Amino acid sequence: MSENFIDIRNISRHFGTVKAVDDVSFSIKQGEFFSLLGPSGCGKTTLLRLLAGFESANQGEIFIDGVDVTTMPPNLRPTNMVFQNYAIFPHINVKKNIEFGMRKEKLSKQELENRVQEVLSLVKLEGYEERFSNQLSGGQRQRIALARALIKRPKVLLLDEPLGALDKKLRDEMQIELRNLQKAVGITFVFVTHDQSESISMSDRVAVMNEGQIQQISDPHDLYYNPQNIFVSDFIGTTNFLSSSTGSSNGENIMVKIDQIGEFSIKNKLNIPENDNETVVSIRPEAIVLSPSPIDKGDIVMEGTIENSSYYGELTSFYVRVQGAENPLIASSQRFDNNSFEGNKCYLSINFEDINLLKKE
């Protein structure tokens, strides 16, 4: 396992005055399922295309398995790509699509046939050899695109929002399948998506991008619970932001005055300076414990009024107004629904460990 299997060093790609990718550096490990996550226009697809060789860098270098590929054309790179629209060749059948990239490998007829059957069984589409692209469903096309790339046994498989065009149920199935496939073949996957839940559920690590720059690279758990900045905290899941200011610090902890709620000593994970008025705290909806009766556990215990609620089946989101607060807090609960609260009065509690102190931007 190489730590720097893909090594991206100070890569920039500009389109006119737009810095699509702006001085980005990071490494991807061998065999890793790595996601590039961000809103549209954040540069994630450009970065993927830089890896594939479809874009040339204005500056910086890319190494794959120790080889400088920065100026290497796409046909010579040890990467293969699954395109967003799958790009199945419409004029040839499935078998010929899958064999397309094998021309230069000079395999015997039997070896080639074995390789085709191998990848077809990997994507569970045996028996589809004679079909044409227009006779396949979206999910099947995606599998063929995967098979066509995997038969090349690339060092890196690049996936450009491959699940975007599928309906939700199929997408959920394919998430699990892709993950299993990646484990089975052991190839390094670089997966581009704008869907935060998709990237969190599939990846070993996620790079969150915005405006051409990497905001944070972490494993999904860390990304969710320890966001490095407001953008990441906001982009991943739902959260409550409350304005705050810091006081004096005391070892690992710092005094934080949270608007309308109070002053507490919480952990200063990001080394926010003392006496800083430009800070916010982020509290996840599921970290706020709701109850119809008074709560005695918890670091912060408050009373509130439920203003609104949305029922999602597996959980219900409540919009809770705490006395004096400017905006309602969003709290989610699996235990209670709207009927659990008499007169909309509720009690809530928050633990200090669930409060993330962040710098305002």
Partner 1 sequence: MKLNENRTLYIYVLIYFGFLYIPVMFLPIFSFNQGIHMAFPLQGFSTEHYEDMWNSPKLFDALWNSIYVGVVSSLMATMLAFFAAKAFTKYKFRGQALSYGAILTPFLIPEIILAIALLVIWVSVGLPLGLTPIIIGHVLFCTPFCMIILIARMEGFDNNLEEASRDLGEGVFMTFWRVSFPILLPGLIAAFLLGFIISFDEFLLAMFLQGSDQTLPIYMWGQLRFARRLPHVLALGAVIIVATSLVVMLAYWLRNVGQPQEKQDLTFKI
Q: Find the binder of partner 1 among 2, 27, 58, 85 (CB under 8 A).
A: 85
- Supply the minimum distance, in Å, between the C-beta of residue 346 and partner 1: 52
Reduced to 3 states (helix: H, G, I; strand: E, B; else coil), residue 245 is strand
Q: Does 101 bind partner 1 (CB under 8 A)?
A: yes
Using a 10 angstrom Cβ sphere, with 0-12 exposed, 13-18 middle and 19 or more buried, the burial of residue 248 is exposed
Q: Does 81 bind partner 1 (CB under 8 A)?
A: yes
Within 13 A of 286's CA, how many CA atoms are on the CB side? 8
Q: Which stretch binds partner 1 (CB under 8 A): 21-29, 96-104, 284-292, 308-316?
A: 96-104
Q: Find the binder of partner 1 among 25, 71, 114, 135 (CB under 8 A).
A: 135
CB distance 327 to 307 below 8 Å: no
CB distance 341 to 292 below 8 Å: yes
Q: Which stretch binds partner 1 (CB under 8 A): 26-34, 47-55, 109-117, 211-219?
A: 47-55
- Supply the minimum distance, in Å, between the C-beta of residue 86 and partner 1: 8
The encoded tokens of residue 302 equal: 């408050």
Q: Does 148 bind partner 1 (CB under 8 A)?
A: yes
Residue type at 334 in one-letter notation = Q
Q: Does 106 bind partner 1 (CB under 8 A)?
A: no
Q: Find the binder of partner 1 among 16, 40, 66, 103 (CB under 8 A).
A: 103
- Supply the minimum distance, in Å, between the C-beta of residue 205 and partner 1: 24
CB distance 270 to 359 below 8 Å: yes
Residue type at 199 in one-letter notation = S
Q: Which stretch binds partner 1 (CB under 8 A): 85-93, 136-144, 164-172, 335-343?
A: 85-93
Q: Give the phi and the psi of residue 144 in degrees, each rounded to 5.
A: -65, -40
Q: Does 139 bind partner 1 (CB under 8 A)?
A: no
Which residue's CB is nearer to partner 1, number 151 or number 230? 151
Using a 10 angstrom Cβ sphere, with 0-12 exposed, 13-18 middle and 19 or more buried, the burial of residue 5 is buried
Which residue's CB is nearer to partner 1, number 80 or number 199? 80
Q: Does 164 bind partner 1 (CB under 8 A)?
A: no
Q: Does 90 bind partner 1 (CB under 8 A)?
A: yes
Give Dmax over CA atoms of the chain in angstroms: 77
- Pairing verdict, β 33-37 and 205-210: parallel
- Supply the minimum distance, in Å, between the C-beta of residue 184 and partner 1: 22
Q: Does 17 bind partner 1 (CB under 8 A)?
A: no
Q: Does 89 bind partner 1 (CB under 8 A)?
A: yes
Which residues is 322 bridged to in the sheet?
304
- Supply the minimum distance, in Å, between the C-beta of residue 50 and partner 1: 13
- Supply the minimum distance, in Å, between the C-beta of residue 146 and partner 1: 13
Using a 10 angstrom Cβ sphere, with 0-12 exposed, 13-18 middle and 19 or more buried, the burial of residue 153 is middle
- d(CA 101, CA 96) in angstroms, rounded, equals 9
- Supply the minimum distance, in Å, between the C-beta of residue 91 and partner 1: 5
Q: Find the binder of partner 1 among 11, 51, 52, 329 (CB under 8 A).
A: 52
Q: Find the binder of partner 1 among 35, 79, 188, 215 (CB under 8 A).
A: 79
Sign, CA torsion 128/133/136/137? positive
CB distance 206 to 218 below 8 Å: yes
Which residue's CB is nearer to partner 1, number 138 or number 273? 138
Which residue's CB is nearer to partner 1, number 53 or number 220? 53
Within 13 A of 282's CA, how many CA atoms are on the CB side? 25
* Footprint on this chain of partner 1 (rule: CB under 8 A): 52-54, 73-76, 79-81, 83-85, 87, 89-91, 100-101, 103-104, 132, 134-135, 148-149, 152
